Amino acid sequence: MSNSYTKYHFDFENLPWLTNPRKQLDLQAVALGLIRIPANEGYTFTHKHRQQEEVYIVIEGNGVILIDKEIIDIKKGDIVRVSPASKRALKANDSGILIICSGAIPMGYPKNPNARYLIDDGIPDYDDIPP
């Protein structure tokens, strides 16, 4: 492994719903998630963050993103910024959807060095069920 860079190949066609490349890429300061949602599937609850602003980049397919109860259509080429305190959830339409989700890492994260994600400030709301 180089100190200058880290390279890892991901099979985008066969990704699970959520892939966190933190360990494969030895990420230190960038939160990154690869999200592949099958056709007509979606999140079963919303979540927000304490500090992390997120950016969702639609790589292929289409669907909707729910942000604070507003349903917004998204398609290949769209980029959506979501503020930390906004509740959000994703759903794919008939074609499925592939999204890259990224955010900066505030100082002091992760709070738990063994956290699955580099930014461990997510707040799930299991009682807030997306439509």
DSSP H or E segment with residue 24: helix 22-25
**Per residue in 48-98, pLDDT tens?**
998 889 999 999 999 999 999 999 999 999 999 999 999 999 999 999 999
Using the CB atoms, write b or e for 24-59: b if 16+ within 10 Å: eeebeeebbbbbbbeeeebbeebbbbeebbbebbbe
pTM for the whole structure: 0.88
CATH number of 18-125: 2.60.120.10
Give pLDDT, residue 111.
75
Taking the domains of the chain in order of start, what are their residue ranges?
18-125
**Per residue in 9-24, pLDDT tens?**
999 999 999 999 988 9
